Structure 1
Amino acid sequence: MKVIITKDYATMSELTAGIVLEKMMESKRVNLSLTAGSTPEGMYRILLDKLSKIEMDTSLINYYNFDEVPLENERYGLTMSTLNKDFYEPAKIAKENIHELNLENYQTFSRKIIQDGGLDLIVMGVGADGHFCGNMPGTTGFDKDIYSCELVPGSDGFQLVEKITGKTPGPETVTFGPKTVLGAKQLVLIANGEAKAKIIKQVLEGPVTEEVPSSILTTHPNITVILDQEAAQYLNKDLLK
């Protein structure tokens, strides 16, 4: 595990964008799974700027969303609508290069990933409760592949989606499980801000437990954790050597 501490959010975003861009520029098919939400917004702004200034063949770059929360009466769920807005549409990503995970195809999506050559890079954030993708504390088995789970009306998750979108979420979500994520060739975990500091300490210093789902990510042989100083403030200095 490689842990990188940056001075601020902007530097964290720049470094993460650089890793993604380097992967994009490999002269072969590249399969990426990139997070949605507020944490990667800076990364996407930087990527869009850099991609607008260079000439490269993007036909071999493929994208896979790693979770989805369907929204009633909407074509796209929360994750895909955010990725479309923040990156896919402004970057003019071809539809055939976007591989959408949803409730209709999740049971065969693992097979698709394998047939496509596996995932080269997953960039993820971490929740203040330690969740990653849609893997929530106390309900996630580390042996799970891609799976669906109930979203109970009135639950914290249900209310959060309502607050973010102003729309009613569907009754189920779908997500890459730990087994799927750990099968990727490279992982990048990003976090910023004081609100993430306590959970980052738990995630990186252990123990590995299903109560802190992101703790399992530290077992991956090729994971880079990129934090700003606020998110890293409680870490044991020995971890950074």
Structure 2
Amino acid sequence: MKLLVTEDYETLSQVTADLILLKWSENHRVNLALTAGSSPKRTYEILVERLRAVQFDQSLAHFYNFDEISLKDQADGLTMQALMQELFQPLGIEDKNIEVLDAENYQDYDYQIAEAGGLDLVLMGIGEDGHFCGNLPGFTSFDYGVYRVPIAPGDDLYQLLDQATPHTPGTEMVTFGPQTVLAAKELVLIANGKKKAAIIKQALEGPITEDVPASVLRLHPNLTVILDQEAASELTE
């Protein structure tokens, strides 16, 4: 594991954007799975600023949404809506380069990834409960590939999702499981802010356990963790 502690969120975002651009600039098809959420927002702004300013071949990058939450009466799920707004539309990414994950195709998605040459880079955040992608404590197993979790009004997952979107949650979440993520060539985990410090300590220094799903990422041979000083403040080393 490579651990990078940056001075602040802006520096974290700059470093993360650099890593994505470095991977993206390789002269072959590159398969990227990028997170939505609050942590990467500035990273995506930087990517848009840089790529709009230069001649850059975007056609070799293919994007895989590693989790998706269906929304009632919405064509796109929660993750795709965010990525479209923050990255795909501002950069003019063509539909043919966006590999949608949803409840219709999730059972074949691991095969599709393998047929495309595997994932080159997965960029993830971490929840305060230790989840990564859609792998929440109590819902995931380290043995899972891409899988589906049903959502029903009144259950804990529904309540959690209902707070995260102005739309009404649908009936399922689909997500890359730990096995799908660990099969990728490179993983990048980012976290910022004091509120992430306790779970970062558990994930990076505690036992590898399904109670803290992100702890399993330490088993990957090419994991980079990028933190600001606040998120890293409780680490022993």
TM-score computed with the length of structure 2 as normaliser? 0.98
Q: Partner amino acid for 1:74? A: Q
SS across alignment from 1:164: coil
Structure 2 spans left out of the alignment, 5+ residues: none
AA at the equivalent of 1:3: L
Contact 1:161 1:167 in 2 (8 A): no
Deviation at 1:55, TM superposition (A): 1.0
Is 1:195 the counterpart of 2:195 in the alignment? Answer: yes
Structure 1 spans left out of the alignment, 5+ residues: none
Q: Which runs of 4+ in 1 moved over 3 A?
A: none
Q: Secondary structure at the match of 2:4?
A: strand
- RMSD, aligned α-carbons: 0.9
Q: Deviations over 1:66-91 (max 9, x none)?
A: 00000011100000000000100001
Distance in 2 of aligned mates of 1:152 and 1:226: 35
Give the whole-Å Cα distance in 2 for the aligned partners of 1:85 and 1:188: 22
The CA distance in 1 between the partners of 2:34 and 2:166, in whole Å, is 24
Compute the displacement of 1:99 (Å). Answer: 0.3
Q: Distance in 1 between the 2:10 and 2:22 partners? A: 18
Q: Distance between the aligned counterparts of 2:75 and 2:139, measured in 1?
A: 28
Q: Matched residue of 2:23: which SS?
A: helix
Q: Report the CA distance between 1:108 and its aligned residue.
A: 0.6
Question: Displacement, 1:206?
Answer: 2.0
- Alignment match, 1:155: 155
Does 1:217 pair with 2:195?
no
Q: What's the TM-score, normalizing by structure 1?
A: 0.96
Query: Hey, what does 1:98 align to over in structure 2?
Result: 98
Separation in structure 2 between the aligned mates of residue 127 and residue 55 of structure 1, nearest angstrom = 36
Instruction: Verify the 8 A CA contact 1:39 1:192 in the aligned structure 2.
Output: yes
Shift of 1:154: 2.3
In structure 1, the partner of 2:55 is 55
Percentage of identical aligned residues? 54
The answer to whether the Cα contact below 8 Å between 1:69 and 1:169 also exists between their aligned partners in 2 is: yes
Q: Please give the residue correspondences for 1:38-187 in structure 2 after superposition, counting only pairs within 5 Å.
A: 38-187=38-187
Alignment-derived partner of residue 229 in structure 1: 229
Q: Which residue of structure 2 aligns with residue 33 of structure 1?
A: 33
User: How many correspondences in the alignment?
Assistant: 237
